[in-house]
């Protein structure tokens, strides 16, 4: 059983000799596939211990995909718009094929994004025969189940530097996840320096929970992160949380308060006590500036406006404030994303409603989907990866229960919300909140191994826990090699 996670749609061993990575191996790719070629070359060279060059491809062979025989040990990337898969346009973008034998390796996809998913699979196929790095003879055809497969990271409660986020991006790409959703603002801190509102980061970024050090991303930091993610086929979706979770904004901008007096910096972990006010003249310009800057700084389709846990906001006021935030996002030309509470407000078709709390009434989410919204599945009892693995675990919380590896794997997104049309489900996104997490190692140990399980739920159309246990077990050796902290779940016989 090949140790591939997430499991591809079709894997067929073909027999014969494997492909051997040698000092003469090269990666060839067409224009537009340079970033995927760089990822493949780095994976091959890193495993083999020597540089594997990436270069522009020459003319293809008569099949248009397989490397021509007799030209050396090539790994060829091909952009093939006719690649046959099902008819869903979103899924078509990331479908790929991979063929390997002793003569060469060919990765083919309709788009550069698809080549990145093929690169992730190729990296997991690399093994050693004792003397050389090899790729087994195999043919793979693969297509994702969902188009949105992500991780939300809270950098507001405890700040994570760009290098830590880049390491998380690398982890996402390695498991075919394609969205990094960043929770940039909350009561405790404002983490992105915006050109039209420099006071937000200047006044509200210095601290975090329990008075721990804070921080904020400069425009240059943000550009670096977005570029790093794009070069690995990962989109960055930024979140500015309104109308609740706004104490940091209220502290930085006194005019957002009805009495004009800024509240103190907040270092606790309570939620639901802060709110914007729709009747203040500063509120709409604030939303317009913030989401306008966010769109200008971040390429892509989506902006997240938060919307959760606004317990201090009366229902009618909540609807007005969400409407103002929706208008600010739509003015930028972007698609709105919001936590499930936003389903209480009128939403434009195509809005992504992110479900997180299955304890709450989900009827508004179902109604929003019937009106044209799409639903992103993030049920806390399965994919909130800051939940403790078990009672007494040193890190994390337990308000949504304990989430062991099997809990993150053995659930069905399409059956999570009664009455919801499965066709309305756009994807799956895990989340990690940092009230109790301060360092990269602490975050990684909560992500791994559970993030691999969530990735398979999001990508693969079938689930088999016993097979997953076997396939994920050798990944521990790669995590060790890459210096990633991880939790040795007792549910797997790990091979290191």
Q: Over the stretch 252-296, which tens digit does the pLDDT of each residue have?
A: 999 999 999 999 999 999 999 999 999 999 999 999 999 999 999
Q: Which residues pair with 109 in a beta bridge?
A: 79, 96
Lowest-confidence region among 73-77, 211-215, 291-295: 73-77
Tell whether the model's pLDDT for residue 209 goes beyond 70: yes
Tell whether the model's pLDDT for residue 180 goes beyond 60: yes
Tell whether the model's pLDDT for residue 379 goes beyond 90: yes
> What's the CA gap between 73 and 324, in Å, rounded?
58
| Residue pair 335/298 in contact by the 8 Å Cβ criterion | no
pLDDT (0 to 100) of residue 385: 98
pLDDT (0 to 100) of residue 153: 99
pLDDT (0 to 100) of residue 218: 98
Q: What percent of the chain has pLDDT over 90?
A: 92
- Fold classification of 10-142 is Chitobiase; domain 2 (3.30.379)
Residues forming CATH 3.30.379.10 domain(s) in the chain: 10-142
Both tokens of residue 192? Answer: 């992105």
Could you identify the residue written with the tokens 């788009």?
A: 111
Tell whether the model's pLDDT for residue 202 goes beyond 50: yes
Lowest-confidence region among 37-51, 55-69, 292-306, 409-423: 55-69
Pick the CATH number of 148-481 from 3.40.605.10, 3.30.1280.10, 3.20.20.80, 2.40.50.180: 3.20.20.80
Q: What angle do CA 424, 469, 409 make, to 5 degrees?
A: 25
Express each pLDDT in 119-177 by its tens digit. Answer: 999 999 999 888 999 999 999 999 999 999 999 999 999 999 999 999 999 999 999 99
> What's the CA gap between 303 and 313, in Å, rounded?
22
> What's the CA gap between 95 and 78, in Å, rounded?
12
The residue with greater pLDDT, 84 or 203, is 203
> What's the CA gap between 454 and 429, in Å, rounded?
8
Q: What angle do CA 76, 79, 85 make, to 5 degrees?
A: 115
Tell whether the model's pLDDT for residue 58 goes beyond 80: no
Tell whether the model's pLDDT for residue 70 goes beyond 50: no
Both tokens of residue 317? Answer: 């006021």
pLDDT (0 to 100) of residue 72: 56
Mean pLDDT within 41-58:
93
pLDDT (0 to 100) of residue 57: 84
Mean pLDDT within 450-459:
98
| Residue pair 414/362 in contact by the 8 Å Cβ criterion | no
pLDDT (0 to 100) of residue 83: 80
What pTM value is reported for the model?
Answer: 0.96
Tell whether the model's pLDDT for residue 63 goes beyond 60: no
pLDDT (0 to 100) of residue 65: 47
What phi and psi, each to the nearest 5 degrees, are found at residue 65? -130, -55
Cα(first)–Cα(last) distance of the chain, in Å? 17
Mean pLDDT of the chain: 95
> What's the CA gap between 45 and 224, in Å, rounded?
24
160: exposed, middle or buried (Cβ count in 10 Å: 0-12, 13-18, 19+): buried
| Residue pair 122/104 in contact by the 8 Å Cβ criterion | no
C-beta atoms surrounding 256 within 10 Å: 20
Half-sphere exposure of residue 237, counting CA atoms within 13 Å on the CB side? 26
Tell whether the model's pLDDT for residue 69 goes beyond 50: no
382: exposed, middle or buried (Cβ count in 10 Å: 0-12, 13-18, 19+): buried
| Residue pair 416/358 in contact by the 8 Å Cβ criterion | yes
> What's the CA gap between 440 and 163, in Å, rounded?
9
> What's the CA gap between 102 and 364, in Å, rounded?
56
Could you identify the residue written with the tokens 């390796």?
A: 105
Mean pLDDT within 236-253:
98
pLDDT (0 to 100) of residue 87: 54
| Residue pair 240/338 in contact by the 8 Å Cβ criterion | no
pLDDT (0 to 100) of residue 485: 98
Residues forming CATH 3.20.20.80 domain(s) in the chain: 148-481
Residues forming the active site: 309
């Amino acid at each position: 059983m090949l140790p591939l996670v997430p499991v591809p749609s079709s894997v067929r061993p073909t027999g014969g000799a494997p492909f051997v990575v040698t000092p003469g191996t090269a990666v060839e790719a067409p224009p537009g596939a340079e970033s995927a070629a760089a990822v493949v070359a780095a994976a091959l060279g890193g495993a083999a211990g020597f540089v594997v060059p990436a270069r522009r491809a020459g003319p293809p062979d008569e099949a248009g995909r397989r490397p021509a025989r007799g030209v050396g040990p090539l790994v060829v990337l091909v952009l093939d718009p006719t690649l046959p898969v099902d008819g869903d346009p979103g899924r078509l973008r990331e479908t790929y094929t991979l063929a390997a034998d002793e003569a060469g390796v060919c990765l083919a996809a309709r788009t550069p994004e698809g080549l990145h998913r093929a690169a992730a699979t190729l990296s997991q196929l690399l093994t050693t025969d004792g003397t050389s790095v090899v790729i087994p003879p195999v043919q793979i055809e693969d297509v994702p189940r969902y188009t949105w497969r992500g991780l939300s990271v809270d950098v507001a409660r405890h700040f994570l530097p760009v290098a830590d986020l880049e390491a998380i991006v690398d982890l996402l790409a390695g498991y075919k996840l394609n969205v990094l959703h960043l929770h940039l603002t909350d009561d405790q801190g404002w983490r992105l320096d915006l050109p039209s509102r420099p006071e937000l980061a200047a006044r509200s970024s210095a601290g975090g929970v329990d008075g721990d050090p804070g921080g904020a991303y400069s425009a240059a930091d943000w550009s670096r992160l977005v570029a790093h993610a794009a070069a690995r086929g990962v989109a960055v979706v930024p979140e500015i949380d309104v109308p609740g979770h706004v104490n940091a904004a209220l502290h930085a901008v006194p005019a957002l308060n009805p009495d004009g007096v800024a509240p103190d910096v907040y270092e606790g972990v309570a939620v639901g006590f802060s709110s914007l006010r729709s009747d203040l003249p500063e509120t709409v310009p604030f939303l317009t500036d913030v989401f306008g800057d966010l769109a200008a700084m971040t390429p892509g389709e989506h902006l997240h406006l938060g919307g959760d846990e606004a317990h201090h906001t009366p229902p009618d006021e909540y609807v007005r404030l969400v409407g103002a935030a929706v208008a600010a996002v739509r003015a930028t030309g972007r698609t709105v994303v919001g936590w499930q509470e936003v389903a209480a407000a009128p939403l434009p078709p195509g809005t992504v409603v992110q479900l997180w709390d299955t304890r709450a009434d989900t009827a508004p989410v179902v109604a929003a989907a019937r009106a044209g919204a799409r639903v992103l599945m993030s049920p806390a009892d399965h994919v909130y990866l800051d939940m403790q693995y078990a009672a007494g675990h040193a890190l994390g919380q337990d308000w949504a229960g304990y989430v062991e590896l099997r809990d993150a794997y053995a659930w069905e997104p399409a059956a999570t919300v009664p009455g919801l049309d499965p066709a309305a489900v756009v994807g799956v996104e895990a989340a990690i909140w940092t009230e109790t997490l301060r360092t990269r190692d602490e975050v990684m140990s909560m992500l791994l191994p559970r993030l691999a399980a969530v990735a398979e739920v999001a990508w693969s159309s079938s689930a088999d826990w016993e097979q997953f246990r076997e396939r994920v077990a050798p990944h521990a050796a790669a995590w060790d090699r890459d210096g990633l902290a991880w939790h040795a779940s007792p549910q797997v016989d790990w091979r290191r």
